[in-house]
């Protein structure tokens, strides 16, 4: 069966090459679509739009095979900049509902919503009321509608939850602040008079300076706010605070929320991984005890060794910061700073390190998020590298997280947070749904790549690369769930070979991480296996003849 497909593909490739003169690998961008990348000089082939070459049909598409467990392909949404349903220029929950079919069509089956609770800021990481939806975004009824609409589409929805701090406008804090401000000098705070004084870290510093502390008016009191004075840090040693968060978690889990992303877990007790792990252990036990299968992913912006320590908490996931961003593993491969073979050995050793602390852990890799430069910027708008980074991410075991707009190569600019959270560009044809983005974002930041609508229609777009990469995950459960074995004997500077085993099935992954085409003798290595899927950055084919794979530049081939 597969052999027939392969010969069909070969015929089509040959035919395509004859008609178009394509199949060459001489340009970084094959110029098939003038809209996809205006930043890379493609050498202006005349009439390229008129003679858009046919891409050979993809022969390896199989049925979707979704297992209803905790493994998901997550999509991170910043509601503010996503889709504006009511026309006030600010994205909203109804806008997310409006775009759920898009999210589902891309193959994402999990959504992480950045904070939506009542807040005083555009980013809403400082919560004023944990039981209210911010009016800019909508209502609790909208959230219920969103939860139900997600579940109708098999999408899990997790919320960003801030345990580390509240807004300085939160009633807990304002009550404690007023109490202490008016307390006569020299008098101790009395938690029976005002329980909220124990909700935060209030201290008399007596003239000493303490990093991250801010004064309570003109009083002798100060409070901790590691990020800023408007975000006072909560005292997570206090049982009463824990009870508050148990009630908050239960409230949302009862509505149908599938879990939480825990913000700033490294700062619960800044610099004290042991205490932070205890807090995470308490919360994780509570949430999973309250709702079986609820999913938690923690933000601990640290290296492998430290993240490993946090897995002792029993939390299911922590974001894989060391794989992500400009200095992470994926970028180092693409920048030629590490050999392809190290990809396999790194994946293997991460698993060994994490699983020893929590055998049921699920890795949470990503390329960029709302706090980092966007992936397209990290890859300086090199379309091959943008795509291949996504290919690597979406080949990884665990729950990959894709930041909204990453799938169209959206830009960020510099280190300013607002510039990392720009409006999603659905279409340049109409302003309907277009958000204005954060007010302090710089104007005139250049979107190098086309809008969603254009990219959807272009088979070679970044968007369609993501879509196929996610699809392949959804067809082959081994990719998300498999235990990696690396094969250094077959891997080298640009070639990497791994296998993944899950539930008695093995899938082989062969990566050509180089700019040149390469071959790999699969039959000699693994005997009779067949291609089940592949990804190339420019629409060229992976071929398989007499057991030997021919791999175009930046390709990934899956075999079973």
Q: Which two tokens stand for residue 103?
A: 């999210």
Among residues 22 and 90, whose Cβ is nearest to Ca ion? 90
Q: Cα separation of 485 and 425, whole Å?
A: 40
191 CB burial (10 A radius; 0-12, 13-18, 19+): middle
In the set 37, 98, 126, 263, the catalytic residue is: 263
Residues 320-349 within binding reach of Ca ion (CB under 5 A): none
- Whether 263 is catalytic is yes
Backbone φ and ψ for 127, nearest 5 degrees, come out as -90, 135
Rounded Cα distance between 166 and 334, Å, is: 39
| DSSP-derived secondary structure for 227-255 | S-TTSPBB-TT-HHHHHHHHHHHHHHHHH
In the bound complex, which residue of the shown chain has the CB atom lying closest to Ca ion?
92
299 is known as an active-site residue: yes
Cα of 266 vs its chain's centroid, Å: 19
**Does 299 sit near Ca ion (CB under 5 A)?**
no
Between 247 and 266, how does the x/- string for binding to Ca ion read (CB under 5 A)?
A: --------------------
Task: Give the dihedral of Cα atoms 329, 523, 63, 363; nearest 10 deg.
Answer: -20
Nearer to Ca ion, 84 or 418 (CB): 84
Query: Got the DSSP string for 261-298?
Result: EETTGGGTTTT-HHHHHHHHHHHHHHHHHHSTT-EEEE
Among residues 126, 103, 209, 136, the alpha carbon closest in space to that of 172 is found at 126
Give me the least distance between CB of 82 and Ca ion, in Å please: 10
The phi, psi pair for 529, rounded to 5°, reads: -125, 160
As a whole number of angstroms, the distance between CA 474 and CA 483 comes to 17
Q: State the minimum distance, in angstroms, from the CB of residue 90 to Ca ion.
A: 4
**In the complex with Ca ion, which residue's Cβ is closer, 92 or 339?**
92
Closer by beta carbon to Ca ion, 90 or else 456: 90
Q: Are strands 518-521 and 483-486 parallel, antiparallel or unpaired?
A: unpaired
Are the C-beta atoms of 241 and 199 separated by less than 8 Å? yes
Nearer Cβ to Ca ion (82/223): 82
Rg (Cα) of the chain, in Å, rounded?
25
Least CB distance to Ca ion at residue 86 (A)? 4
Phi, psi of 481 (to 5 degrees): -110, -10
| Tokens coding 484 | 């990696």
Min. distance of Cβ 34 from Ca ion in angstroms? 33
92 vs 538, which CB is nearer to Ca ion?
Answer: 92
Distance CA 133, CA 485 (A): 45
Write down the least CB distance from residue 133 to Ca ion, Å. 12
86-111 b/e with 16+ CB inside 10 Å = b?
A: eeeebbbbbbbbbbbeebbebbbbbb
Q: Which of 29, 26, 31 is nearest to 49 (CA)?
A: 31
Least distance from Ca ion to the Cβ atom of residue 99, Å: 13
Which x/- pattern over 67-106 shows residues binding Ca ion (rule: CB under 5 A)?
-----------------x-x-x-x-x--------------
444-465: b (≥16 Cβ within 10 Å) or e: eeebbbbbbebbbebbbbbbbb
CB of 213 to Ca ion, least distance (A): 37
Q: Minimal distance in Å, beta carbon 98 to Ca ion?
A: 11
Q: Is the dihedral of CA 426, 427, 432, 438 positive or negative?
A: positive
Cβ proximity of 391 and 466 under 8 Å: no
Q: Closest CB to Ca ion among 78 and 173? A: 78
User: CA-CA distance, 540 to 146, in Å (whole number)?
Assistant: 39
String of DSSP letters for 366-403: BS--TTS--HHHHTTT-HHHHHHHHHHHTTSSS--EEE
| Closer Cβ to Ca ion, 355 or 427, answer by number | 427
Nearest distance in Å: CB 145, Ca ion: 15
CB of 92 to Ca ion, least distance (A): 4
| Size of the residue set binding Ca ion (CB under 5 A) | 5
Active-site option among 142, 299, 320, 478: 299
Distances (CA, A) of 480 to 63, 71, 105, 436: 16, 7, 19, 36
Q: Which is nearer to Ca ion, 90 or 234 (CB)?
A: 90
Q: Which is nearer to Ca ion, 84 or 267 (CB)?
A: 84
Q: Which residues bind Ca ion (CB under 5 A)?
A: 84, 86, 88, 90, 92
Name the residues annotated as catalytic: 263, 299
């Amino acid at each position: 069966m597969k052999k027939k497909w392969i010969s069909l593909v070969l015929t089509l490739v040959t035919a395509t090459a004859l008609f178009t003169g394509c199949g060459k690998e001489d340009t970084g961008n094959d110029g098939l679509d003038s809209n996809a990348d205006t930043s890379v000089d493609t050498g202006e082939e005349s009439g390229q739009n008129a003679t858009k070459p046919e891409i050979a049909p993809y022969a390896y598409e199989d049925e979707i095979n979704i297992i209803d467990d905790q493994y998901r392909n997550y999509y991170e949404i910043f509601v503010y900049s996503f889709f504006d349903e009511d026309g006030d220029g600010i994205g909203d929950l109804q806008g997310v509902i409006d775009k759920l079919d898009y999210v589902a069509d891309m193959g994402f089956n999990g959504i992480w919503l950045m904070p939506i609770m009542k807040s005083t800021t555009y980013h809403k990481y400082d919560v004023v009321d944990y039981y209210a939806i911010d009016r800019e975004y909508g209502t609790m009824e909208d959230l219920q509608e969103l939860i139900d609409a997600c579940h109708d589409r098999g999408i899990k929805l997790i919320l960003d939850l801030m345990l580390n701090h509240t807004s300085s406008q939160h009633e807990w804090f304002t009550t404690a602040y007023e109490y202490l401000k008016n307390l006569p000098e020299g008098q101790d705070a009395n938690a029976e008079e005002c329980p909220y004084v124990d909700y935060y870290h209030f201290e008399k510093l007596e003239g000493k300076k303490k990093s991250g502390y801010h004064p309570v008016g003109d009083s002798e009191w100060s409070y901790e706010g590691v990020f800023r004075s408007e975000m006072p840090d909560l005292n997570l040693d206090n049982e009463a605070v824990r009870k508050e968060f148990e009630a908050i978690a239960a409230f949302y889990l009862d509505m149908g929320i599938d879990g939480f992303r825990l913000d700033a877990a490294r700062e619960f007790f800044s610099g004290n991984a042991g205490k932070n792990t205890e807090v995470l252990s308490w919360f994780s036990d509570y949430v999973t005890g309250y709702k079986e299968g609820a999913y938690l992913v923690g933000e601990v912006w640290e290296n492998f060794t430290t993240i490993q320590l946090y897995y002792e908490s029993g939390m299911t996931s922590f974001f894989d910061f060391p794989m992500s961003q400009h200095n992470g593993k994926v970028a180092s491969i693409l920048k030629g700073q590490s050999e392809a073979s190290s990809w396999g050995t790194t994946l293997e050793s991460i698993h060994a390190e994490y699983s020893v602390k929590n055998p049921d852990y699920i890795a949470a890799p990503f390329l960029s998020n709302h706090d980092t430069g966007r992936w397209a910027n990290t890859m300086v708008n090199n379309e091959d590298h943008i795509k291949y980074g996504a290919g690597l991410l979406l080949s990884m075991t665990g729950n990959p997280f894709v930041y909204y707009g990453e799938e169209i190569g959206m830009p960020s600019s510099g280190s300013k947070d607002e510039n990392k959270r720009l409006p999603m560009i659905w279409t340049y044809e109409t302003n309907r749904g277009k958000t204005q983005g954060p007010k302090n974002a710089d104007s005139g930041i250049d979107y190098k790549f086309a809008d969603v609508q254009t990219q959807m229609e272009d088979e070679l777009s970044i968007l369609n690369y993501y879509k196929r990469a996610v699809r392949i995950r959804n067809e082959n459960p081994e990719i998300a769930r498999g235990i990696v074995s690396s094969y250094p004997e077959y891997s080298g500077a640009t070639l990497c070979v791994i296998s993944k085993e899950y539930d008695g099935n093995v899938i082989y992954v062969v990566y050509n991480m180089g700019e040149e085409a390469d071959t790999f003798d699969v039959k000699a290595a693994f005997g009779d296996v067949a291609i089940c899927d592949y990804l190339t950055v420019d629409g060229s084919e992976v071929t398989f003849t007499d057991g030997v794979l021919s791999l175009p530049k930046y390709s990934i081939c899956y075999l079973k």
